[in-house]
Structure formats: structure tokens, C-alpha cells
Structure 1
Amino acid sequence: MRLIFMTSLTMIAFAVNSILNRLAVDSEIIDSSSFAMVRVSSGALVLWVILNVKSSESLTFEKAQFLGALSLAAYIIGFSLAYATLDAGLGALILFGTVQISIFSWSALWGTRPSMLQICGAGLAFIGLLIALWPADNKISNMSGVWLMIIAGIGWACYTIIGKTAKDPLVTTTATFVIATPIVTVFFLNGEIFMTQFGVIAAIFSGAVTSGFGYMLWYSVLPQLKSVTASVVQLSVPIIAIVAGSLLLDEAVTGTIIISVFLVLGGILIAIISPKIKVDHR
């Protein structure tokens, strides 16, 4: 029961990240590069303070943490820039669709291939996302946003895979944020800077709360989840974002969206309860 609660809380944090980033950039209260820099640096600072106050462990830097930081930086950079041209629904579909494909591919190649039930569950959930987030009249005016979100999805998939080996979620998450901060900052160093007070507050909340705490929670539950299950569960994030958008932004919830919610949740349930199949590489 605790695992379900922690995983659900993490998915909500992920959805809030999408909403905050899109609203902040679309409302022009902060630019994409500034949002990314404030987000990652505030996350690093808060996690470092918590580590020093609450934990007896010291901050260490290992190879896996450097790889995790590179993955985190790729995700944050691609995510922030993509939402300057993509709407929230299409962006979420591309992001978590890429995550699912990447983790499924990794699982098939490195030890645990998806079972038929897991494939069916993932397919059902993905169909639900297509119904909810890809209206027939949608047109992509800027392909750069699509590619940036694909990069973000690959980065997040790598961050998820690396996180399954994390021994101490707080130490690992803090280290990845600390290392990722200069990477993101250098990438955006020569970019245009524009921010308002509310834009900075949104970025700090995204970095310190929904990213810092959210990713620490994610690393704490990952060792208890199958790789395939971890990928499919994240497909619930766009659905959560739709519901939050309806409640907070007065966006309409249609019958089509209700159907898609049942498809996604049903697909996730199938993927979670299905057995895993080991791959013999002999």
C-alpha cells in the first residue's frame, strides 16, 4: 500500500512539473532557459541542505551519479525548451511515449523482456494517451519542439534506469542535481534572460519541491518496481495533468478524455500484475 501511495505521489509531482513549466513559459513570466537554470539550481540547494541536516551520509560522487546528472540535464534542457513551442498535451505524449519506448527497449536487450501482457498493457495505455492528447486537427508547427521533447524523454528514461541501482535516494538525487546544475547553466549561459517574481517562484517550486522531492521519491520506489512497470506507470502523468488542468485552469473534460483515463489506468494495471520473463543471453 505504501508503494502505491509513494508512486502515486511521485506521478502527481511529475504532472505538476509539466503544468508549471508550460504555464510559466506560455504566460511569459519567465523564459525557458531561466526556468531551467532556476529549477535545477534550487533543487540542488534544497536537497543539499536537507542532506546536511537530516542525513549522516556525506555527499559523494560516483560514476553512476555523473551519468544520472547528464541524463537529468538532458531532460531538463529538452523539457524546458520544448514547452516554448509545444502545448502541454502533445508535449506530455511525446515525452512519456519516448520514455516508454526507451525503457521497453532497454529491458528487452538487457535481461528482462516485456511479457505479452505487459506489451498489451503498455499498448492499451498508449492508445488511451493518443485518444486524450492527439486531436484530429492537431498540427505541429515547429518540429524542433518535438525533437527537444524526444531528447528529454530519452534523458528521463536513462535517469529512471540508472535510479534502479541507487542505494541512498537522498544522496544520489542530491549528487545528480549538484552535478547537473553547472551543465544546465553553461548550456544556457549566452541565452536571453527574462524573469519576473512569479516566474522565479514557479521555477523554485518546480525545482525544490516537485523536482527535488519528487525525484528523491522516485529513486526510493524504483528499486521496488520492474523496469517495464516503471515506464508504463509514468504514462499516467499526462492524464493527471489533464485532470489538474480541468480543476485549476477550467479546462473542459470530455467523454473522450474519460474513456482515455480508463484505458490508461487499465493498461497500467495489466502491466503491473503481469509476470516478467527473463531473457537467456547464452
Structure 2
Amino acid sequence: MKVFLLTALTMVAFSANSLLNRAALTDGDIGPGAFALIRVAAGAIVLILLVALRDKALRAPKFDWAAVAGLSAYMLGFSYAYIQLDAGLGALILFAGVQVTMFAGAVLGGERPHIARWAGMVLALAGLALLVWPDGQINLPPQSVALMSVAAIGWGVYSLIGRGIADPLAATAANFLYTLPAVLLIPLVAGGLLEANTKGVLLAILSGGVTSGLGYALWYSLLPKLGATRAALAQLSAPVIAVVAGAILLGEAVTLKAVLASGLILGGIALGVVWPQLTIRSKGS
């Protein structure tokens, strides 16, 4: 139950990142490059302080190039994609790509998912496909979709690496710190680094220090307990949360198709996560 509740809290944090990023960009309160930079910097500061308070000392953090590359791709692709995408729709594209990346990585790494988890993945992805199927009601700018797909691959790789982390807090702090040069370089080249007002800066700090920094550290601590396939399925709940919250907080439209698709996604999660556990318990008894 504890793992379930902590996983649910983490998914709320993940969906909050979509809402905060979209809210900041919609009214022009901050540019995507500045948002990504402040988000990563705030996360790095909070996490390094927490590690220092825990260990009573500051140490040179370990560099993991694959984790840093994955986090950099996610942070930049995520921020720039939300220039045109709704919060809920962006989250759906993001986590659809994450599922494919994590399932592929798990299988290639030797993990053999329960048949119910494969079925749950198929059902959940069917819900995602239904939601984004072109019908004239949903605007999907190709450039934004491509950027969010890059973010999805980056986050999937980052999550796969997290399964073997012994110290989630220190690892997350190091990854945020070493991601700073990448999220600084791109805005410097593309321009718009100084496009920000007070509201935009505060939203970026909240996203970086709380829903990203602390949320990702918690996620890294949960990954060894969940495994890649269960973690991939669990993340499919984040887009549903983002769709609902986007409608309530940002006024984004919710159609009947979105409701049906969300039902398929949640049903897939239940099938893939709950059913295998019930099977194991029944065999044990």
C-alpha cells in the first residue's frame, strides 16, 4: 500500500509539471528555454541542499552520461513542445513514448513481463491512440509532437537507468547539476533566454524544486520496487491526471473521446499492475 500511495503521489507531481509548464508558456510569462533552465537549476539547488543536510558534507557528485543525456533531452524537448500543445495532450504523447521505450528496454534487458502486463499495455496504448487519433478536433503540430517524442525517449532512458540506483537522492542531485550546461547552451543559441517575468520564474522554480527535483528523487527510490514494466504502466495514469487538471485549471477541452480513452488507460493499468499480483497471491495460498 505504501508503494502504491507513493507512486500515486509521484504521478501527481509528473502531471503537475505539464500544467506548470503549459501555464507559464500560454500567457508568455516565460520562454521555453528560460523555463527549462530555471527548472533544472531550482531542482539542482534543492536536491544538493538535501544531500548536504543528510550527509553533513558536500561531495563531488558522480557523473552518469546516459542519465544526464536522457534528462537533458526530456527537459528541453518537454519545454519547447509545450509552446503549442495543451497540457493534457502533451502528457499523453510524452507517456505513450515513455511506455514504448521502457517496455523495449525491459525486454532487451532480460525482463519477462507477465502476460497481463502486456495486455494492460496494449489496452492502455489503445486508449492513447483513441485520444490522439486525427478527427479534426485535436490540433497536433508536427514539430511539437516530434519534440515531445524526443522528451519521451529521454525520460524512458532516464527511468530505465534509475532501476539500479543505490542512492536516489544523490543520483538525482548529480543528474540535475550536470544537466545545467545543456539547458543553458540551447537557449543561448536559440535565443529567448531572458524572456521571463516574475510569474513565469516562480512557476519554473515550483516545477524544478518541488514537482521535478523531489518528484524525480522519489521516482528513483520507487523504480527498484516497481520494475520497468510496472513503472511504465503506472506512468500511464499521469496523462489522465493532466487531462482532468488541465480542464479544471487551464480551461482545456475534455471530449467524450477523452473520457473513453482515459477509461481504457486506467483499465490497462489495473489489468497490468493489479492482476499479476492477484495471481501470485492466489498461487501462494
Question: What TM-score results when the alignment is normalised by the length of structure 2?
Answer: 0.89
Q: How does 1:36-185 map to 2 (within 5 A)?
A: 36-56=36-56, 58-63=58-63, 65-134=64-133, 136-138=135-137, 142-185=141-184
Q: Secondary structure at the match of 1:225?
A: helix
Tell me whether 1:14 sits opposite 2:20 in the alignment: no
Cα distance in structure 1, aligned partners of 2:44 and 2:76: 16
Cα distance in structure 1, aligned partners of 2:253 and 2:106: 37
1:69-126: per-residue Cα shift (whole Å, max 9, x none)? Answer: 2211110000001111223233222211111111111122110133332111011112
Amino acid at match of 1:175: A
Amino acid at match of 1:83: Y
Cα distance in structure 2, aligned partners of 1:126 and 1:114: 16
Amino acid at match of 1:88: A
1:257 shift after superposition = 3.6
1:17 shift after superposition = 0.2
- Whether contact under 8 Å (2:62, 2:171) holds in the other structure is no
Amino acid at match of 1:35: F
- Whether contact under 8 Å (1:52, 1:58) holds in the other structure is yes
- Whether contact under 8 Å (2:23, 2:250) holds in the other structure is no
1:49 shift after superposition = 1.3
- Whether contact under 8 Å (1:58, 1:171) holds in the other structure is no
Cα distance in structure 2, aligned partners of 1:258 and 1:237: 14
* Equivalent residue number for residue 282 of structure 2: none
1:186 shift after superposition = 1.6
1:188 shift after superposition = 1.7
Q: Indicate the larger mover: 78-87 or 259-268.
A: 259-268
1:56 shift after superposition = 4.4
- Whether contact under 8 Å (1:235, 1:264) holds in the other structure is yes
Cα distance in structure 2, aligned partners of 1:85 and 1:251: 13
Q: 1:247 to 1:59 in 2, by over 3 A?
A: farther
Cα distance in structure 1, aligned partners of 2:91 and 2:140: 17
Q: Indicate the larger mover: 74-83 or 127-136.
A: 127-136
Structure having the higher helix fraction is: 2
Gaps of 5+ in 2: 278-285
Q: 1:183 to 1:139 in 2, by over 3 A?
A: same
1:207 shift after superposition = 0.4
Q: Number of residues paired by the alignment? A: 275
1:134 shift after superposition = 4.5
* Equivalent residue number for residue 198 of structure 2: 197
- Whether contact under 8 Å (2:67, 2:175) holds in the other structure is yes
Q: Indicate the larger mover: 175-184 or 141-150.
A: 141-150
- Whether contact under 8 Å (1:104, 1:113) holds in the other structure is no
Cα distance in structure 2, aligned partners of 1:249 and 1:32: 18
Q: Secondary structure at the match of 1:221?
A: helix
Cα distance in structure 1, aligned partners of 2:219 and 2:68: 15
- Whether contact under 8 Å (1:57, 1:171) holds in the other structure is no
Q: Indicate the larger mover: 116-125 or 251-260.
A: 251-260
Cα distance in structure 2, aligned partners of 1:222 and 1:60: 24
Q: Indicate the larger mover: 185-194 or 7-16.
A: 185-194
- Whether contact under 8 Å (1:102, 1:154) holds in the other structure is yes
* Equivalent residue number for residue 281 of structure 2: none
Amino acid at match of 1:46: V
1:37 shift after superposition = 0.6
- Whether contact under 8 Å (2:61, 2:170) holds in the other structure is no
Amino acid at match of 1:111: G
Q: 1:134 to 1:236 in 2, by over 3 A?
A: farther
- CA RMSD after TM alignment: 2.1
Question: What TM-score results when the alignment is normalised by the length of structure 1?
Answer: 0.90
* Equivalent residue number for residue 279 of structure 1: none
1:248 shift after superposition = 2.2
Cα distance in structure 2, aligned partners of 1:55 and 1:217: 18
Cα distance in structure 2, aligned partners of 1:13 and 1:157: 17
Cα distance in structure 2, aligned partners of 1:170 and 1:100: 24
